[in-house]
Amino acid sequence: MSLTLTTMSGRTVTGDQLQWSRSGEMQHSRGPYISAITNRTTNLLIRGAMLFSVGVFLALVLNLLQVQRNITLFPPDVITSIFSSAWWVPLCCGTAAAMIGLLYPCIDSRLGEPHKFKREWSSVMRCVAVFVGINHASAKVDFANNVQLSLTLAALSIGLWWTFDRSRSGFGLGICIAFLGTLATQLLVYNGVFQYTSPDFLYIRSWLPCIFFAGVITMGNIGRQLALYEYKFIQDKSHQD
């Protein structure tokens, strides 16, 4: 009888220990999960801030080229910065850059097609340099006519995608966002916010969609490269746990 009680009590103790150990494991597993969510949110905010800063910087530099060549004209009362650019232009470009840079890796994850082509910072920096060069060509190089300029910039923009991206999702997003950006610019010019000196495509220049496309590909590459560090961080945490 005593052995039975001892055995039963032993089983009871063992059951309690198992229950306690399982609850302990459950609490232990919840800890890293919440930590991973917090770290992912923090990483997302950091990436967004970095992409916003890059977008603002590129907007100031590239818009300075356009203004110096009198390609874009702003009313005198809205030129408020030392870079001769309306204050809302860098903010809009920074916001768009952050959204694009965060959207690209998200789309890659949803499609289950991780982008592995030229995933290193040296390639990203070359992509940024080519993008700046395309903008410089649109502002500095004199072509015989606008059609020749537009075709040249279109070829350079597609070449940028082929050299640094080559993903179908990147090309599709580039086309869609370039179309939306061109439409938004048309509305701004139509409402008199600013204007182009020699519009040849409704109210804007015909090469503007090429610039938007190249910019989308560039910010997408930067966003993917930044997201690569978050992916490595999550993998390292999972291996440690």
Contact (Cβ atoms closer than 8 angstroms) between residue 117 and residue 168: no
Looking only at the bridges linking them, the beta strands covering 195-196 and 72-73 are: antiparallel
Per-residue pLDDT tens for 126-164?
999 999 988 888 777 777 777 888 889 999 999 999 999
DSSP count for the chain of H helices, then E strands: 6, 2
CA distance 14 to 185: 71
Q: Is the pLDDT of residue 1 over 70?
A: no
User: Residue 24's pLDDT is what?
Assistant: 44
Detail the DSSP E strand segments found in the chain.
72-73, 195-196
The least confident of 11-20, 90-99, 160-169 is: 11-20
Smallest Cα–Cα separation from 69: which of 160, 162, 119, 138? 138
Instruction: Report residue 53 as tokens.
Output: 């800063």
- The domain locations on the chain are 43-240
Name beta bridge partners: 201.
Answer: 204
- Report the predicted TM-score, pTM, of the whole model to 2 decimal places: 0.72
